[in-house]
Structure 1
Amino acid sequence: MRFSVISSALVAVLVGFGGTLALIVASAQAAGADAAQTASWVTGLCLAMAATSFYLSIRHRIPIVTAWSTPGAALIAASAVPMGMEAAVGAFLFAAALILLTAAFRPIGALIERIPVSVAAAMLAGVLLRFVLAVFETAGAEPWLVLPLVALFLLLRLASPPFAVLAVLAAGVPLAWGLGMLSPVALEGGFATLRLIVPSFDLSVLIGLGLPLYIVTMASQNLPGFAVLRAAGYPVPSRSILAVTGLASLLTAPFGAHTSNLAAITASLCTGPDAHPDKDKRWLTGPVYALGYLTLAGFGASLVGLFAALPPALVVTIAGLALIGPLMGALGAALTVEADRFAAVLTLAVTASGLSLFGIGSAFWGLLAGLTALGLDAGWRHWRGRAALR
């Protein structure tokens, strides 16, 4: 066990957890979770990361590390449709069941892969755009808090974008304290807590949240995660990964946790030569990574209490700045294919609008609008081609 194995794994934990915890708290608030349910959400996710990373890395002798669905959390937080935690948990279970079906039946995975990257990425971009815009909307109300943190982020991202977000968090707390904006910290007992939530299955929430949650998790997390493993020279046990993460999602959903999936961005910290010069020994980062998340699981309530003490403007700023990188990637993928750009822009516009019809949120309508536009374009080109041959 080299020190580089330990350091790489713990840095991946720190970046993955600290960089997006604010988004999880925002998601829980949007879903109507109370403090105990939010703590349960965080604890459940940490336990899922620990169990899945430990098992998959040891089982396959590959540096397979997992994460929670950051795009999925953004989707939940951006939902303009009141749902309640019971209905949200029903949607989480539905998304987990779809992941398990994808692992069991190859045609389902092939169908997801056939969704044009441009449309799936545009849907994700529409969700993320609302968070990034919120940073600058908040700056108008709290300029002395937000603008210095934005400036710090712009400078530090030149050296390391992931650590720039952590630096914003580290600097934002004393800045908020100096401005008199911190609330008393409520530790809620301090240690791990799990709160069972009885799900309800609301069709509009299943379609408006559960289905988009599954799609963004597959298209924006699992498929890129597979690509990271392939780029590092490892075989990809995709069905095993989907089965294990889907099962973990199914088991932790009743405690409020949303989807678990293969890590993409943080995975590169564990799969490269900096982790270990011997490619066949990098799998050791998996158990260390799992231990890191197991430790964090023990303090879920404390961490939620700490974030509850932060002013909303700081939470919005941290979450929004953390999502600029994913937004760049989503926009780039959405606009790459020139023939698909109209459908991609339409998808982005509908999704970012917050449109809600029949109790179904904008992510679903954005996806539907984009696929409809692509279908009409393809049908029109086919008709013109046949007409030209007559």
Structure 2
Amino acid sequence: MSSLLKDCSVSALVAGLIATVISYAGPLVIVFQAAHSAGLGADVLSSWVLAISLGSGVLGIVLSLYYRVPVIIAWSAPGSALLVSLLPTVSFNEAIGAYLVANTLILIVGLSGSFDRIVSRLPAAISAAMLAGILFSFGVELFRSVKTQPLLVVTMFVTYLLGRRLLPRYAVPAVLVVGTITVLITGEFNPQALVLDLAVPVFTAPTFTWQATLNIALPLVLVALSGQFLPGMAVLRNDGYQTPARPIIAGSAATSLLLAPFACHGLNLAAITAAICTGREAHIEPSRRYIAGVSGGVLYLVLGIFGTTVVSLFGAFPKAMIATLAGLALLSAIGSSLSSAMDDPADREAALITFLVTASGMSFLGLSAAFWGLIFGLFAHVVLRYRTSAKQSVKSLA
């Protein structure tokens, strides 16, 4: 305890708090949209918020203290985005079963230490294109909202651009603040929706079906490994932390398994918000930045306990604000995914096919667009790469 107090600093404490606030300002909004699309009740949504918040908080605190590294855990925003279109197609019991399957697979990957090998064999362009396709609808919905709330959406959009120009890391919180002020001024806020209460866990028994496994579990695994853990570990490595991936991945998956019946879809190593806590802004001494992971985890616990209040607070705002906030929060993720998908000329066509199929929202044989996007993309990758390899072999022989 004495060393913990000695290592405390205002900069590290604030960095952790900001990282958590950003998680609530953006990714949590997508969880609300997923719950609403599936018609889940407020009690289940509160349980969802409680589960992902407590899981993120406890894991972040324990891992940060044990390794003396700012380990920032959060729920998967791309995974939440995937659920917006998929939850309405299955029962919530089936979704819980898919969560358990997905996190069991991730746990196996974590315990086996095969994370790097698996990620290296999966075509980066294909997984990036699938992620871009999943997130595409959020970017589109952002601009569709202009029709219903032009003043609110345009104000938030301009705020985002100015934030990205002046204070890039705090652009999304700035959008939340300005959007809130605009809603209050225009009288769009609904105070009757507010409820001051503690969150209560709601247990949902899992049901296992092959449709839910292919539609939800498989994409969740791919998104978690390639879209969350991979960049998350890269952030840690970039700032000089050589923390092994195995305990972080295994710990996240094991915690997710325990919390899945209470609606937790998956906990991952954060990437974007983690950069706030791993850099010099948190503290000039890398050995004292772990305090940011602890402070962020504590705030997660507090907000999770008051999950019902958090849910009601977001419900008091107009849908256009929530859609705009979600779209802007995912804008950089959409851009980076598209950039990665188109980066390799040899896989550009396969990645484009993956993106178009996933973004189309198609459904065939009871299987979702994300699954078919992956299948079509991998098939195109094999065919086109085989053709290219064959031509190169002929040229080398000539």
Normalised by the length of structure 1, the TM-score is 0.95
1:240 has 2:244 as partner:
no
The aligned residue for residue 312 of structure 1 is: 319
The aligned residue for residue 211 of structure 1 is: 218
The aligned residue for residue 206 of structure 2 is: 199
The aligned residue for residue 21 of structure 1 is: 28
Whole-angstrom CA distance in 1 between matches of 2:250 and 2:328:
32
Whole-angstrom CA distance in 2 between matches of 1:277 and 1:382:
49
Are the equivalent residues in 1 in contact too, given 2:38–2:87 (CA < 8 A)? no
Which residues in structure 2 correspond to 1:268-347 (within 5 Å)?
268-347=275-354
274-283 or 288-297: bigger deviation:
274-283
Whole-angstrom CA distance in 1 between matches of 2:293 and 2:373:
37
The aligned residue for residue 78 of structure 2 is: 71
Residue 366 of structure 1: how far off its partner (Å): 0.7
Deviations 1:138-183 (A, max 9, x none): 2123323322222222222212244222222223234334444334
- 1:370 maps to which of 371, 377, 380: 377
Whole-angstrom CA distance in 2 between matches of 1:278 and 1:167:
28
Whole-angstrom CA distance in 1 between matches of 2:298 and 2:224:
24
The aligned residue for residue 3 of structure 2 is: none
Whole-angstrom CA distance in 2 between matches of 1:261 and 1:185:
35
1:84 has 2:94 as partner:
no
Which residues in structure 2 correspond to 1:61-140 (within 5 Å)?
61-79=68-86, 82-107=89-114, 110-140=117-147
Whole-angstrom CA distance in 2 between matches of 1:146 and 1:14:
21
- 1:39 maps to which of 24, 39, 46: 46
The aligned residue for residue 175 of structure 1 is: 182
Aligned residues: 390
Deviations 1:343-382 (A, max 9, x none): 1111110000001112211111111111110100122223
- 1:155 maps to which of 159, 162, 165: 162
Residue 21 of structure 1: how far off its partner (Å): 1.8
What amino acid is aligned across from residue 26 of structure 1 in structure 2?
Answer: Q
Compared CA separation, residues 178 and 226, structure 1 to 2 (3 A): same
SS in 2 for 1:67: strand
Compared CA separation, residues 383 and 274, structure 1 to 2 (3 A): closer
Compared CA separation, residues 185 and 85, structure 1 to 2 (3 A): farther
Whole-angstrom CA distance in 2 between matches of 1:381 and 1:290:
49
Are the equivalent residues in 1 in contact too, given 2:34–2:87 (CA < 8 A)? no
Whole-angstrom CA distance in 2 between matches of 1:109 and 1:156:
35
What amino acid is aligned across from residue 233 of structure 1 in structure 2?
Answer: G
Residue 133 of structure 1: how far off its partner (Å): 0.6
Deviations 1:283-311 (A, max 9, x none): 22222121111111121000101111222
Compared CA separation, residues 235 and 135, structure 1 to 2 (3 A): same
Whole-angstrom CA distance in 2 between matches of 1:108 and 1:218:
8
Are the equivalent residues in 2 in contact too, given 1:269–1:275 (CA < 8 A)? yes
134-143 or 89-98: bigger deviation:
134-143
Question: Once superposed, what is the RMSD of the aligned Cα atoms?
Answer: 1.8
Deviations 1:115-135 (A, max 9, x none): 111111111111111100111
Are the equivalent residues in 1 in contact too, given 2:136–2:334 (CA < 8 A)? yes
Whole-angstrom CA distance in 1 between matches of 2:194 and 2:221:
33
- 1:222 maps to which of 229, 232, 236: 229
Whole-angstrom CA distance in 2 between matches of 1:155 and 1:285:
27
Compared CA separation, residues 2 and 178, structure 1 to 2 (3 A): closer
Are the equivalent residues in 2 in contact too, given 1:343–1:374 (CA < 8 A)? yes
Whole-angstrom CA distance in 2 between matches of 1:115 and 1:165:
31
Normalised by the length of structure 2, the TM-score is 0.93
SS in 2 for 1:157: helix
Compared CA separation, residues 189 and 2, structure 1 to 2 (3 A): closer
Are the equivalent residues in 1 in contact too, given 2:94–2:209 (CA < 8 A)? yes
- 1:56 maps to which of 32, 38, 63: 63
Residue 50 of structure 1: how far off its partner (Å): 0.9
Are the equivalent residues in 2 in contact too, given 1:81–1:359 (CA < 8 A)? no
365-374 or 171-180: bigger deviation:
171-180
1:266 has 2:240 as partner:
no
